Structure 1
Amino acid sequence: MDNSILFCATVDYHFKAFHLPYMKWFKEQGWDVHVAASGEIELPYVDRKFTIPIERSPFSLKNMAAYSELKDIINGNQYRIIHCHTPMGGVLARLASREARKSGSRVIYTAHGFHFCKGASIQNWMLYYPIEKMLSRYTDCLITINEEDYTLAKQRFNVPVIEHVHGVGVNTEIFKPIPENEKAARKKSFGYEPDDFLLFYAAEFNGNKNQEMLIRALALLKEEVPKARLLLAGDGALQDRCRELAERLNVSNLVNFVGFRNDIPTILPMCDVAVASSLREGLPVNILEAMACGLPVVASGNRGHRELIEENRNGYLVSPNDYMLFSDRLKEIWRSREIYQQLKRESRTMVKNFSLDQITKELSEIYLRFMVEESNEAQSKYYRAYL
C-alpha cells in the first residue's frame, strides 16, 4: 500500500476554502494526494483529481453513480488514509471504503457540525442521527470541531478514535487588524465615512443564516446610531426577502447587499463589529476571520458561536431571534470606546487557539498516528513472515 491519501467532499470548493494547507503538509511528507468531489476547480498540492457527481441532497439519484465511481476509485488505488468531509461526502466515502478498510485503509471523517445537536428539531434527530450512528461502524477516526459535538460523539458513537480539533484554521497573517488611519482611508475607498459604524456578516441567504434578525435589529438601532451600516455579503434564495424586509422597515439605505466577495480580507479589518444570526453552526469560519481582525462579535447563541464568543470578553451572545437585545448589545459597544477596545483585544487573543498553525499541529498529530500505525503493521507482518 503506497503512501497516498484521498480527500473526499461534496464539492471541490470545500478543499480550496479550507484544506489546502493540510494537502500541502502531506506533500511535504512525500505522500501522493488525491481528491474526489464534484466541480472543476484546479487545486494545488493534488496529484490526481476525480470529478464525481456528488449532490448535496441525499435523495438525488446522481449519488448512486457517485458512490459507484468512488468505490472503484478507492478499491483501485489502495489508499492508506481516506479523509472525508461534508455530509454527503462523508456518507458516500465511508460506504465506498468498506472493502478497502479490510485491506488496511483507514477512514477519517471530519464532522463540521452535526445536524442533530442540543436544540435541533426532532426531524433532524430522526433523520441524521441514525445515519451517523450506522456510519460510525465504518469510521476509524471521527474528528469534531466543537466541544458539544465531541461530547455527544464520545457518549453515543463506537468509533476507535474520536478527536476534537479547533476548526479548520484561520490564517492570522492574512486576517489581521489595521491601524486607525488606514481603517478610515479604507472606509472612504469603499464609499463609507470614517465614522460610519460598520456591521459585517458573510453568509449564504438561507433560513439557517437568519439575516432577517440583523435587519430587524438595525431598525431598532438606527435612531440612536444613525451612522450604523449593515454589510451583508453572500448570495442565496432568501436575499430578495431580506431586501423587501429592509424596505418595509425603512432601513434599505442602511443595508448593503454586497454579494459574493473574494476580498473579505480587505473588507473585514475596516469594519467595526462582526454580527452573526445563524440558528445552527459547527465552528463558523466567518467569526474566526473577524476575531483575527480584532472585531468584537455580537451573535446568536448556538454551539459554534458559544465555542468562540465569551460573554463580556470578546463579544455578546443573544438568544436566536431576540433582535431587541441584539440591538441593545450593539448600542453598548457603540457608546463605550473602552468596552469596544477591550472586546477587540480579546478577540485577537482568543483566536490564537484557532490559528492555522495550531490546527496544522493538531491535525498532523492525528495523521501521524495513522501513518505510524500502518508502518508498524507492515513491520510486524515482515517479522512474522521472516520467523
Structure 2
Amino acid sequence: MAKRVLMVATVPSMIGQFNIKNIYILLDMGCEVDVAADFTDTSMWPTERIQKLKDELSDLGIESIQLNFSRSPLKINRHIDSYKETLKLIQERQYSFIHTHTPIASAIVRLAAHKTATKVVYTAHGFHFYDGAPLKNWLIFYPVEKWLSKYTDVLITINQEDYRRAKEKFYAKKIVYVPGVGVDIEKFAPRQSGRDRIRAELGLKESDIMLLSVGELNENKNHSSVIRAVAGMELTYVIVGKGEKSGELERLSKEFGVDVRLVGFRTDVADFYDAADVYALPSIREGLNVSLMEAMASGLAVVCGRIRGNTDLIENEGCLFDPVNMDEIRKAIILAIENREELSRSNLQKIKHFDLSTVDNITSEIYRRGTGI
C-alpha cells in the first residue's frame, strides 16, 4: 500500500514556486500526495494562476485541500479554526508524514501532528529572528519556533546562519542544511531572444541601463530604498511583482524622478532577467532568495543587502550593502553596472553549487532517512 504524504503551506504560491519538485520526488518514490493551503488567498498569485496550479496537481492525481490559514499572526480565531481543520484531516487520512512550509501553517501543522504522533518535516525558509532582527521578532518568533522544534522530526534550514542557530539552540530530532530550494540552471540560462522581446515591450534601447527586482511589493522587499538611491542616475528600474506598496512606489518614482516600471505579476520572469543589466535585492530579511539565484543563473550582475542568506551566495563585498543605506546601495549599483561582465562570470560559476539537482538529491535522502520511506 502506497504511503500517503501531506504537503502544506499557508498560500498556494509557496507550493507552486518552491515545492513542485518535492512533490515529483515523492511521486517517484511511490507516495500518494495531498496538498493543503489557503487556495482562496490571492495576495501573491492571481486567481487564474492558482487555478492553473490546482489543475496541474489534479493531472498528477493530487488533491488540493482547502485549509483556512492566514498569513496574519493576529487572526487568532481563524488560527483556531484552521487547527481544528488540520487535526481532522490528519486524523482521517493518517499520513505517513507531513512536509510543511511557512511559519504560521507550520506552527498549526506541528501542533496537530503532535496530537496524532505524525512525523513532520519542516522547511524554515528563513526564520523571522536573525542577526540584527528587531527585538520584537526575537521576543515573539524565537520562543515559538524553539518550543515547536520539539515536535519536528526533521528541520530543514536553507542558509548557514539559521542552520548554526538551530543546531545550537533547537530540539528537532534532526537538523539539516539544504542550499535553498535550488535553481534550474538550464531554464534560466541567458537568452538573447528574451532580452530583445522584453526591451521592445518596455521601449528600451540596447544601450539603456535596466535595473531589475523581482518580488512582492511589500515593506520587507524594500524597493523604496532603491528608488531613493538611484535618483539622478540614467537607468530604468523594473519591478516584477504585486503587492500593497504599488501606490507608494509610484509616488516615490515621481518624487525622485526615477523611471520605475511596475509590471505586476508575470509568468515570463526568465525573460526579464535576460533583459536586465543588473539585479537588485534590497530586502530587509531573506532566507535564501530564489530570485537572487535565478538572476545569478541568468548571468546577471547582482547587488543585494548584506544579510543572512545573501552572504551565502555573494562574496564580493562591493556588491553588498546595508538595505537602509542609500549611499551604499547607490555605490553597489554603480559598481555592478561598471563591472557587469566580470560579475556575470563569477555568478555563473558560484550558482552551480545551488543547482536544482543537488537540492533534489539531498531532499530525496531526507525523505528516505528522516521519515522512514
Say yes or no: does 1:242 pair with 2:269. no
Cα separation, 1, equivalents of 2:12 and 2:242: 19
Distance 1:145 1:182, change over 3 A: closer
Say yes or no: does 1:124 pair with 2:131. no
Matches within 5 A, 1:73-88: 73-88=89-104
Give the total of aligned pairs. Answer: 357
Cα separation, 2, equivalents of 1:268 and 1:218: 19
Residue number among 104, 121, 140 corresponding to 2:153 in the alignment:
140
Residue number among 200, 224, 237 corresponding to 2:212 in the alignment:
200
Matches within 5 A, 1:1-387: 2-39=2-39, 41=51, 42=54, 43-44=56-57, 45-60=60-75, 61-101=77-117, 105-179=118-192, 183-184=195-196, 186-220=198-232, 222=233, 226=234, 228-251=235-258, 254-311=259-316, 316-335=319-338, 339-371=339-371, 373=372
1:343: how far off? 0.6
Q: Deviations over 1:195-232 (max 9, x none)?
A: 11111001222221111111012104x1xxx2x11101
SS at match of 1:67: helix
Q: Deviations over 1:265-296 (max 9, x none)?
A: 11111111100111111111110110110101
1:185: how far off? 6.0
Task: Please tell me whether the aligned partners of residues 273 and 298 of structure 1 are also in contact (alpha carbons under 8 angstroms).
Answer: yes
Partner amino acid for 1:192? L
Cα separation, 1, equivalents of 2:194 and 2:369: 46
SS at match of 2:324: coil
Aligned-residue CA RMSD (Å) = 1.8
Task: Please tell me whether the aligned partners of residues 194 and 272 of structure 2 are also in contact (alpha carbons under 8 angstroms).
Answer: no
Higher Cα Rg: structure 1 or 2?
1
SS at match of 2:34: strand
Q: Sequence identity of aligned pairs in percent?
A: 35
Cα separation, 2, equivalents of 1:92 and 1:185: 45
SS at match of 1:219: coil
Cα separation, 2, equivalents of 1:191 and 1:299: 26
1:190: how far off? 3.5
Q: Deviations over 1:304-356 (max 9, x none)?
A: 211211116xx710112222222122223333xxx321110111111122221
SS at match of 2:10: strand
Task: Please tell me whether the aligned partners of residues 195 and 271 of structure 2 are also in contact (alpha carbons under 8 angstroms).
Answer: no
Distance 1:100 1:185, change over 3 A: closer
Cα separation, 1, equivalents of 2:120 and 2:114: 9
Q: 5+ unaligned residues in a row in structure 1: which ranges?
A: 375-387
TM-score w.r.t. length of structure 1? 0.88
1:33: how far off? 0.4
Cα separation, 2, equivalents of 1:99 and 1:300: 41
Cα separation, 2, equivalents of 1:186 and 1:99: 52
Cα separation, 1, equivalents of 2:237 and 2:27: 42
Q: Deviations over 1:226-247 (max 9, x none)?
A: 2x11101222222212211221
SS at match of 1:297: strand
Cα separation, 1, equivalents of 2:335 and 2:65: 51
Task: Please tell me whether the aligned partners of residues 2 and 30 of structure 2 are also in contact (alpha carbons under 8 angstroms).
Answer: no
Partner amino acid for 2:274? P
Task: Please tell me whether the aligned partners of residues 188 and 270 of structure 2 are also in contact (alpha carbons under 8 angstroms).
Answer: yes
1:186: how far off? 4.8
Cα separation, 2, equivalents of 1:293 and 1:153: 32
**Higher relative contact order structure (alpha carbons within 8 Å, sequence separation ≥ 6):** 2
Distance 1:302 1:84, change over 3 A: same
Cα separation, 2, equivalents of 1:246 and 1:108: 43
Q: Deviations over 1:112-136 (max 9, x none)?
A: 1100111011111110111111111
Q: 5+ unaligned residues in a row in structure 2: which ranges?
A: 41-50
